[in-house]
Chain A
Amino acid sequence: MSMVRFDQVTKRYSKSKDALSDVSFELQHGEFAFLTGHSGAGKSTLLKLMMLMERPSKGEVFVDGELLNRMKPSRVPFLRRKVGVVFQNHQLLFDRSVYDNVALPLLIAGYSPSEVPRRVRAALDSVGLLGFEKRNPIELSGGEQQRVGIARAVVNKPQLLLADEPTGNLDPELSEEIMNLFLRFQQVGVTVLIATHDIALIERMGHRRLILDHGTLFDKGAGSDKNAGPDKGDANGH
């Protein structure tokens, strides 16, 4: 069973134009893929469909074997707990500490408060921010803020990790660092899908590419000729 399956999905916001048209693809458990395309190609829409921030106009979306189309609103939060999301603008709350930001998904999922600190520290450790717990996110650099966002996305150990332009505001060096972080999560079994238009970076890293062009999806498979990074061998893993 695949982690994500889109079956002839169309999303239409207005009558004139489809944001996504007839999109079909699958992501296997533990797969790592990039989602790319010009701005306005429908990358965000595709990610939103997996979070039920939007519902498809046509076709079927499955996440972890569950059909999302007619999922009751009361079930949606439980879907979102299985999916970690990282945003370009990281969506951190500046009225609370790094610790409280990362702890939020755990409190929401109903972990007992005695269990939360250990998991928060583990998540911060995994993004290299151990010791930043008491800081306010506003004091941190862009890259550090993005890593707090990633820690929050993974603290609940989601099966699926989505990222929408996670390196959009970062310089190339930091971008690569963030991407390597995502790779590490894939190595421990998380399915990762990253939307980005940073073509240079994608080409360096290889891996499967889903390319959106005006709402139509092209599946490029693993990066081919320009695959020159260190750990690219069997990026798809399946």
Chain B
Amino acid sequence: MAIKPSSAGASAHQIRLRNRLSGWSQQHQLVAVETLVRLLRQPFASIMTWLVIAIALTLPGAVWMTFDNLTQLSSRFQQSGSISVYLMPGTREEVAVGLQNALNAEDSVAKVSYISADQALSEFRRSSGLGDALDLLPDNPLPGVIMIEPDLRAAPAEVKAMIARAEHEPAVDAVVMDDAWLNRLEALIALSQRVVWVVSVLLGISIVLIVGNTIRMSIANRVDEIRVMKLVGATDAWVRRPFLYTGLWYGMIGGLISWLLLILGWLLVSGPVRNLASLYGSEFDLHPLSAAVALILLLSAMFLGWAGAWWSVVRHLDDIEP
């Protein structure tokens, strides 16, 4: 039983700073790996927590994906709304037809139809039943209208430029886009997005609580270990570290599973959506989650897991004293 001479413990202070730093970063790596291994050793309990986190993330993720697609859809509808070009009263027939042909020649226009003032009047007479009253009017009060259906493939800017050119024509009184329903759709989307935000925040809080509770239980299971660590000189940071990494892992793996679920959901739904869209004559295609959004999802999952662990550790760990 040989004993090496000790310089009365002063050697503890002789650890060089560089050693200390490399020890510190190696310690972090070690703790990260150890905590992951610990989680994988109890697969059942870990998978339950991961799935709960994944589902809590998948719900807002899926809704986010839906709205992202809807917004793109509504910007396409923006162009598909028909445009009415009202002509000045008394515009002569040949001017109107000339304008119709000119508009028809525009790239951004799919289809143009002309309804003359007379046609409009007779249409109105038939549908309103005010025939006799209309006879009392000295002139036809209705203007001629050119109806434009924009080309769906045209860029919005092109359509806007075409509208601007039409407005400048001397024979044109006003150009009106039939987009009231579109505005309503957009307002509805804006409202729903607000609701989704609230739901997302609530689900985020629930992730913090789930992880916090799981960490609380693992702290309770390791009280003896924590006591011994504190007895031999562990700082609070050192004792907290494995639990914070555990929270980070919960969030990260939960986030990855959620991402897989979203891809799976997209694969399941995008076929039928394309089918439905084609029945409406649209080439609309459901986009998957972009890489940036997937990354944000993952990072926020990691943050929420870490925050849950932090919350639990601050509440329970510091109470454990040897």
**Residue ranges of A at the interface with B (Cβ–Cβ < 8 Å):** 29-30, 51, 53, 74, 77-82, 85, 91, 93, 95, 104-105, 107-113, 115, 122, 125-128, 152, 156-160, 181, 184-185, 187-190
A10–B20 CA distance with the chains assembled, in angstroms? 39
Does A108 contact B229, Cβ atoms closer than 8 Å? yes
Contacts A93-B224, A113-B23, A113-B30: A157 and B232 contacting too (C-beta < 8 A)? no
Does B8 contact A105, Cβ atoms closer than 8 Å? no
Contacts A53-B321, A93-B225, A108-B229: A29 and B234 contacting too (C-beta < 8 A)? no
A108–B233 CA distance with the chains assembled, in angstroms? 7
A231–B8 CA distance with the chains assembled, in angstroms? 21
Does B9 contact A82, Cβ atoms closer than 8 Å? yes
A185–B6 CA distance with the chains assembled, in angstroms? 9
The stretch from B11-19, B148-156, B173-181 touching chain A is: B11-19
Does A82 contact B12, Cβ atoms closer than 8 Å? yes
B227 contacts the other chain (CB 8 A): yes
Does A111 contact B321, Cβ atoms closer than 8 Å? no
Find chain B residues with CB under 8 A from A112 CB: 19-20, 22-23, 26
Q: Which 3 A-B pairs have the closest CB atoms?
A: A81-B233, A159-B9, A80-B233
Contacts A110-B15, A110-B23, A113-B23: A105 and B30 contacting too (C-beta < 8 A)? no
B157 contacts the other chain (CB 8 A): no
Sample of 10 further A-B pairs with CB below 8 A, known A53-B321, A109-B233, A126-B3: A82-B12, A104-B228, A109-B12, A111-B15, A112-B19, A113-B30, A157-B7, A159-B8, A189-B6, A190-B6
B235 contacts the other chain (CB 8 A): yes
B77 contacts the other chain (CB 8 A): no
Find chain B residues with CB under 8 A from A104 CB: 228-229, 232
| Smallest CB gap from A104: residue in B | B232
Contacts A107-B27, A113-B26, A189-B5: A74 and B235 contacting too (C-beta < 8 A)? yes
- B22-53 CB mask vs A (1 if < 8 Å, else 0) is 11101100100000000000000000000000
Question: Interface size (B, Cβ < 8 Å)?
Answer: 36
Find chain B residues with CB under 8 A from A74 CB: 235-236
Find chain B residues with CB under 8 A from A187 CB: 3
A74–B321 CA distance with the chains assembled, in angstroms? 13
Chain B: minimal CB distance from A193 (Å): 15
**Residue ranges of B at the interface with A (Cβ–Cβ < 8 Å):** 1-12, 15, 19-20, 22-24, 26-27, 30, 224-225, 227-236, 238, 321-322
Chain B: minimal CB distance from A161 (Å): 10
Does A53 contact B233, Cβ atoms closer than 8 Å? no
A188–B236 CA distance with the chains assembled, in angstroms? 32
Find chain A residues with CB under 8 A from B224 CB: 91, 93
| Smallest CB gap from B26: residue in A | A113
Chain A: minimal CB distance from B87 (Å): 83
Does B9 contact A156, Cβ atoms closer than 8 Å? yes
A105–B231 CA distance with the chains assembled, in angstroms? 9
Find chain B residues with CB under 8 A from A184 CB: 1, 3
Does A189 contact B7, Cβ atoms closer than 8 Å? yes
Chain A: minimal CB distance from B9 (Å): 4
Contacts A77-B233, A81-B232: A157 and B12 contacting too (C-beta < 8 A)? yes
A16–B50 CA distance with the chains assembled, in angstroms? 53
Does B4 contact A126, Cβ atoms closer than 8 Å? yes
Q: Jot down 5 A-B pairs with beta carbons below 8 A, ordered by A.
A: A81-B233, A108-B234, A126-B1, A156-B12, A188-B3
A128–B2 CA distance with the chains assembled, in angstroms? 8
Chain B: minimal CB distance from A96 (Å): 9
Chain A: minimal CB distance from B21 (Å): 9
Chain B: minimal CB distance from A47 (Å): 12
| Smallest CB gap from A122: residue in B | B4
Chain A: minimal CB distance from B227 (Å): 7
Find chain B residues with CB under 8 A from A126 CB: 1-4
Q: Which of B1, B233, B236 contacts A128 (CB 8 A)?
A: B1
Does B1 contact A78, Cβ atoms closer than 8 Å? no
Does B231 contact A157, Cβ atoms closer than 8 Å? no
Chain A: minimal CB distance from B158 (Å): 65
A122–B227 CA distance with the chains assembled, in angstroms? 25
Contacts A111-B15, A112-B22, A113-B30: A80 and B3 contacting too (C-beta < 8 A)? no
Pick from A81, A115, A127, A185 the residue with the most CB of B within 10 Å. Answer: A81
Q: Which of B2, B9, B24, B227 contacts A91 (CB 8 A)?
A: B227
A48–B94 CA distance with the chains assembled, in angstroms? 107
A108–B236 CA distance with the chains assembled, in angstroms? 11
Chain B: minimal CB distance from A26 (Å): 17
Find chain B residues with CB under 8 A from A160 CB: 9
Contacts A128-B1, A188-B5: A111 and B23 contacting too (C-beta < 8 A)? yes
Find chain B residues with CB under 8 A from A80 CB: 230-233
Find chain A residues with CB under 8 A from B9 CB: 82, 156-160, 190
Find chain A residues with CB under 8 A from B3 CB: 126, 184-185, 187-188
Contacts A53-B322, A111-B23: A77 and B234 contacting too (C-beta < 8 A)? yes
Contacts A53-B322, A82-B9, A190-B6: A111 and B229 contacting too (C-beta < 8 A)? no
